[in-house]
Amino acid sequence: MKITDVKTWLMQAGARPDLTRAMGADADFRGSRNWLFVEIETDEGITGIGECSGWPRVVETAVSDLAHVLIGADPAHIDRLWGQCYRAILGHGLTGTVGSGALSGIEMALWDIKGKVLGAPVWQLLGGAIRERIPVYGHAHTPEEAKALTDLGYTAIKTPFTGIVDLDRVARLRDAIGPDVDLAVDAHGPSWMTAQDAILIGRELEAFDLLFYEDPVPPENLDMLARVRGEVAVPLAAGERVGTAHGCRDYIERDLVDVIQPDTGRAGGITQMRKIAAMAETHGIMLAPHSGSLGPVAEFAALHVMATVPNALLLERIEFDWPGRYEVVAPVLKVENGCLPIPTAPGLGVDLVRDEIAKYPSVRNVAAPPPDDGRAYAPGTASEAVHVQTRRARARSLRRPAHDSLPRSGNSE
């Protein structure tokens, strides 16, 4: 068998179709993102698909640049081809998320081909399933959103913040879901957060019995995370922004986290995910793949990995996503009792609905800046939460007494 072509499918996910059609420069794409799918064709009519993240519009070019390494090769030799692609780009510098994003989608597609050739789901080829159902967690900002998830059987909720954690909101969510549903907080590692502020916030979070406190500080300097680690008695999670096992190594070897969160679309592929999981296992660290901006193909890939590693914790899932998510692939995954079943069809077990993808051409792939209201650093403005203003926003969060009635844990007193 030989690879005959490498195609990409880039789409704007989450944008309103009427705005996408208009393609106007002024269209508001806030909250939308790009999904990039890879399709590898062979001379025997078997096609594999994968998904890349890590700046999809740029990764698309990286995939097309790597196509000549793959075309003519036997797709059976996954690790050999991965190594050839990896070495083909080393002259461009360290493999960041663009390079590892391209490698991820390509490698996933090669596994999909192998599974289809052998008539087995990928998890079967990785040693078989340790578990047939993978627990998921959903996103909730309000008690109402949390209830919608627990009504579906979700047993874990994560609430996202833009840097400063609103402790009142955490308290309301914990009160709403009760003690038996897991609660996590994602601070998104803002570039302006100081380690000291993250520590002060983290100590307050000790009261809420969190599953984890995610990305309390920016990921560029792991010594900052080490400071938080030493001062806060809350499980920490991080790792979504790095690529390959090399990117996750310091988090794991320095025991900086309790939960490692490689993004399935930019971790470098299924085998890299398993290497990360194996490293983490030797440190008692759990695997919870990041999936917040990913499309549905990477979700399938994550399920295959999580079925086969002992330290899989749970998978992130955007339960109430843009409706197009459920139109661009088949079959569609459905949560039952807080879990997703592992796929059973050969390969990854999912296919692209190409006509649907084509309806949403990519227009934009970077976040729009917040509106400039001309009041730099003024309280309540978007620019307040930058560098020197962190203290003010943090102080406002910590001043609120609503959670004081909750039992405190750990050594924060």
Cα–chain center distance at 44: 34
The pair of three-digit structure tokens given for residue 271, joined into one six-digit string: 């085998």
The site for Mg ion, by CB under 5 A, has a size of: 1
From 178-186, 223-231, 294-302, 393-401, span contacting Mg ion (CB under 5 A)? 178-186
From 113-121, 183-191, 385-393, 403-411, span contacting Mg ion (CB under 5 A)? 183-191
Q: Is 41 a residue that touches Mg ion (CB under 5 A)? A: no
DSSP 92: G
Residue nearest to Mg ion as judged by C-beta position: 186
From 24-32, 180-188, 262-270, 329-337, span contacting Mg ion (CB under 5 A)? 180-188
Residues contacting 261, CB < 8 A, separation 6+: 214, 237, 238, 239, 240, 287, 288, 289, 290, 316
Closest separation in Å from C-beta 302 to Mg ion: 15
Closest separation in Å from C-beta 238 to Mg ion: 8
Per the DSSP assignment, residues forming a β-bridge with 361 are 11
From 110-118, 184-192, 301-309, 393-401, span contacting Mg ion (CB under 5 A)? 184-192
Task: Give the H or E element holding residue 41.
Answer: strand 33-42
Closest separation in Å from C-beta 159 to Mg ion: 11
Residue 162, CB half-sphere, CA atoms under 13 Å: how many? Answer: 8
Beta carbon nearer to Mg ion, 186 or 197: 186
Closest separation in Å from C-beta 292 to Mg ion: 6
Q: Within positions 138 to 167, which residues make up the interface with Mg ion, using CB under 5 A? A: none
Closest separation in Å from C-beta 214 to Mg ion: 5
Residues contacting 282, CB < 8 A, separation 6+: none
The pair of three-digit structure tokens given for residue 112, joined into one six-digit string: 């999909």
Closest separation in Å from C-beta 188 to Mg ion: 6
Pairing of strands 133-139, 339-341: antiparallel
Q: Is 263 a residue that touches Mg ion (CB under 5 A)? A: no
Sign of CA dihedral 139, 141, 145, 151: positive
Q: Is 186 a residue that touches Mg ion (CB under 5 A)? A: yes
Beta carbon nearer to Mg ion, 186 or 258: 186
DSSP 182: E
Give φ, ψ of 254 to 5 degrees. Answer: -90, 5
Cα–chain center distance at 265: 8
Closest separation in Å from C-beta 160 to Mg ion: 7
Asked if 92 contacts 61 with a C-beta cutoff of 8 angstroms, the reply is no
The pair of three-digit structure tokens given for residue 325, joined into one six-digit string: 């998510």
Binding to Mg ion by CB under 5 A, coded x per residue (else -) over 227-256, reads: ------------------------------
The pair of three-digit structure tokens given for residue 233, joined into one six-digit string: 């008695």
Asked if 234 contacts 212 with a C-beta cutoff of 8 angstroms, the reply is yes
**Catalytic annotation, residues:** 188, 290
Q: Three-class SS of residue 67?
A: helix
Beta carbon nearer to Mg ion, 348 or 385: 385
From 63-71, 181-189, 217-225, 247-255, span contacting Mg ion (CB under 5 A)? 181-189
Beta carbon nearer to Mg ion, 188 or 249: 188
Residue 329, CB half-sphere, CA atoms under 13 Å: how many? Answer: 25
List contacts with Mg ion (CB under 5 A).
Answer: 186
